[in-house]
Structure 1
Amino acid sequence: MRLFYKVITILLFCVTTVQVGAQQYKTVLPYRMVGGKMIVDMIMNGTPRSFIFDTGGRTALTGEICEELGLEVVDSLVVTDVNSNEAVYPLVLIESLLTPDEKINFRNVPAMKLSKPSPFECFHTDGLIGSDLFVRTIVEIDGKAKTVTITSAENPSTASLRKMLPFVRAGMPIISLQAGVGNAITCLFDTGNPTFLSLKDTDFEALRSAAALEVLSEGYGEGSIGVTGMADADVSYRVRFPLLSVGSTKFKNVDSETSIPPYTLLGVSLLDYGKVTLDYPRARFYFEAYEQENDLECKHYNVGLRVKDGELVVATVWRAMKGQVEVGDKVIKINGKPVGRYDFCESIINGIPELKVKKKTKLTIQTRQGEKVIIYQKE
């Protein structure tokens, strides 16, 4: 298992066109999954670099790589992060962003310069590639083959129009899903989100009133990490949709947790169930499902954990553990054995080995009232 950790998403609120080195083009870009993120390789200004592929974001570079390459600031941009916080970031220009097969060369690409230290350090990447890079292209993402196919858009996708949903907003893969019958949800397809669905709090309130979902548990915990930092701890809900439809494809028992992004997020886990094609110029989202009906029923841990300053701490407390432990309490023993120091990045990518051994794990927690033993388990 992986620990509780929600990493940065930079939402795209400004679409910038770029020049591509050929009139007609096609390239197949392999990707690999690292800690729930899609990682692709590109050649930036003549040097191979790795990037997070993030359809919910805009192209950005770490402060470290900008300084290493001596990239000058040319402008600034206001962005809204995953916690709906706004911040102004400087813009730099990437002279050349070339695919590894050298078939497509994006030139003079505007990119946000992020603050140091790098938010992408754990993924060993120098930034992220966002939807703004692909506004003139068609992008096909195949989760089975682990490839991103980028083509010029003289002709529309060959996918059936019956599998198509229109973008709600041009330039961004924002679409409308159906919860149950007659309950629309506006969602951003965000490959930077490692879950299947992350539910915006205001959408939650509306859908709960319409009886389109059921509340599984109420929790209290740390918020998501965005470009402006971590959101304050707050109440969240774990919910289940008996039925959620992506076009004609039905998903049963879809679980989600509430948060405060500008949109409900349809995450990268959708690629486990079908191929996604984004026709940016025509503002079309296609979902070619492997199966027309899918049951996503699963169980969830009663507390969320994360590594902070080398220690394993409680990040979220769900209803079953309310009054037992609090956010920030430290785990001092696992199955009776004292814990060591943990590496933050390793915990994100591979999890904590001791927590993978059994379905039920005995945790000794240091609380304000003293040591307390709890059973860490799914329910």
Structure 2
Amino acid sequence: MRYKIIILCLLCVIASPAIAQQYKAELPYRMIGGKMVVEMKLNGTLRSFIFDTGASRTTLKGEFCREFGLAVTDSLEVTDANGRKSFYPLVRVDSIETPDNVFRFKSVAAMKMPEPSPLACFPVDGLIGSDLFAQLILVIDGEKKTVTVTTAEKESIISLRKMTRFVQAKMPIISVQAGSGYNIVCLFDTGCPRFLSLKESDFEALSSGSAYELLSEGCSVGAISVGGVSAERVSRRVNFPLLSVAGSKFRNVVAETATPPYTLLGVKLLDYGRVTIDYPRARFYFEPYKPENDLAEKPHDVRLQVKDGDLVVAAVWGAMKDVVEMGDKVLKINGKPIGKYDFCESIINGIPELKAKKKTKLTVLTRKGEKVIVY
């Protein structure tokens, strides 16, 4: 009888994981100004947030913290996507929930942004970071525009040939292969609007090899990050003839150098396949829609942005460095004088006149007078 009881107990232990219930929630997202925006409940109220796998900590706008009376409890040093290091205050949030109430995260320590918020143009109250999902699995589907969150009792059934392990625990930091044998440590960052942003030191480390082709050098300003927009800097534009991500091949990947803490593999990756992030097992999976992708493109030699209502040059590459300079003002588009632009509208929806044609003639006021260039 005693042996029967022992055997029965063993069977119960073996069977328990097989019948454990797996919880799942689905978060639809929408793209706004190159950012993934989801809905979450914060202290019971449904709000909008940028879904940012590159953020190690959930972050709230200072205005939001003031509105909800969230008191500062501590501080944390953070390096943002432009390489800026700063100390940010921490606040305590009672609960953050998925809209369907399947997952509830209690007593969340969140960073507080300065006021006015660097994300003021976005209709959100902050960022949802990787810290919230440390014990969960995420499936990000760019075609369906959904993030599926599940508990991690079971491993993914995706082939291990489409998997790579985290280089650093708790964050989707992985190694991708450039060319044949050159590895780059990348952070999968859905807050980065590009396919790839190359860290300056990685560019220098690879320069002696044949991993990339240098296309041009130029000047540009950084992206919008938690710490704001970086100042003007020298940047290089390179082409990777071959880049492999979790076994999937990408050809002719154009990237620009910047100063983030890691090279960034951005949200554009979701245009080419589905990403699964298994945080507790430190695994990153990529399921491509096609066996191979060619990203060949001819990028603009001039980038524009709105400053104080004017449309100005914000990046200059290659031969264009001898034609226009950073800060030069655009006067006309296709011969028509332009008016003032709203900065936030340009970030979210772009400049309408620049979308009409593949080639656009710009009349630019430079230090040497007016010049007409093809954009």
Counterpart of 2:188? 189
CA deviation vs aligned residue, 1:328-379 (integer Å, no higher than 9, x gap) = 1111111111111101111112111111122221111112222222221xxx
Counterpart of 2:13? none
The range that moved more, 50-59 or 230-239, is 230-239
The range that moved more, 362-371 or 35-44, is 362-371
The range that moved more, 153-162 or 303-312, is 153-162
* TM value normalised by structure 2: 0.92
Return the letter of the residue paired with 2:373: I
Q: Residues 59 and 113 of structure 2 are in contact (CA less than 8 Å); yes or no, is this contact kept in structure 1?
A: yes
CA deviation vs aligned residue, 1:208-259 (integer Å, no higher than 9, x gap) = 2111100111111223343333323121111110000012211011111110
Which secondary structure state, in structure 1, belongs to the residue aligned with residue 138 of structure 2?
strand
Counterpart of 1:17? none
Q: Please, which runs of 5 or more residues in structure 1 have no aligned partner?
A: 1-21
Rg larger for? 2
In the TM superposition, structure 1's runs of 4+ consecutive aligned residues that sit over 4 Å from their partners are none
Which secondary structure state, in structure 1, belongs to the residue aligned with residue 121 of structure 2?
helix
Which secondary structure state, in structure 2, belongs to the residue aligned with residue 287 of structure 1?
strand
Return the letter of the residue paired with 2:115: K
Distance of 1:80 and 1:337 partners within structure 2: 43
Which secondary structure state, in structure 2, belongs to the residue aligned with residue 90 of structure 1?
strand
Which secondary structure state, in structure 2, belongs to the residue aligned with residue 122 of structure 1?
coil
Distance of 2:29 and 2:82 partners within structure 1: 27
Q: Out of 10, 26, 34, which is 2:24 matched to?
A: 26
Return the letter of the residue paired with 2:52: D
Counterpart of 1:203? 202
Return the letter of the residue paired with 2:182: N
Which secondary structure state, in structure 1, belongs to the residue aligned with residue 363 of structure 2?
strand
CA deviation vs aligned residue, 1:256-298 (integer Å, no higher than 9, x gap) = 1110111000011111111111110110001111112111101
Distance of 2:364 and 2:77 partners within structure 1: 42
Distance of 2:40 and 2:93 partners within structure 1: 12
Which secondary structure state, in structure 2, belongs to the residue aligned with residue 49 of structure 1?
strand
State the 1:118 CA deviation.
1.9
Q: Residues 248 and 292 of structure 1 are in contact (CA less than 8 Å); yes or no, is this contact kept in structure 2?
A: no
Distance of 1:225 and 1:287 partners within structure 2: 27
Q: Does 1:372 align with 2:371?
A: yes
The range that moved more, 200-209 or 61-70, is 200-209
State the 1:24 CA deviation.
4.7
Q: Out of 52, 55, 62, which is 1:54 matched to?
A: 52
Return the letter of the residue paired with 1:64: E
Q: Please, which runs of 5 or more residues in structure 2 have no aligned partner?
A: 1-19
Distance of 1:202 and 1:299 partners within structure 2: 25
Q: Residues 173 and 283 of structure 1 are in contact (CA less than 8 Å); yes or no, is this contact kept in structure 2?
A: yes
CA deviation vs aligned residue, 1:57-89 (integer Å, no higher than 9, x gap) = 021000000000000111110100112221000
Counterpart of 1:119? 118
Counterpart of 2:262? 263
Which structure shows the bigger proportion of residues in helix conformation?
2
Q: Indicate the structure whose relative CO is greater, using CA pairs within 8 Å and at least 6 residues apart.
A: 1
Question: RMSD of the alignment, in Å?
Answer: 1.4
1:127-138 correspondence to structure 2 within 5 Å = 127-138=126-137
Counterpart of 1:19? none
Counterpart of 2:346? 347
Distance of 1:226 and 1:360 partners within structure 2: 30
Return the letter of the residue paired with 2:292: E
Counterpart of 1:42? 40
Distance of 1:275 and 1:372 partners within structure 2: 45
CA deviation vs aligned residue, 1:145-189 (integer Å, no higher than 9, x gap) = 111111111222222222110000000000001001100010000
Distance of 2:101 and 2:245 partners within structure 1: 35
Distance of 1:277 and 1:227 partners within structure 2: 25
Counterpart of 1:142? 141
Distance of 1:223 and 1:194 partners within structure 2: 12
Matched-pair identity in %: 66
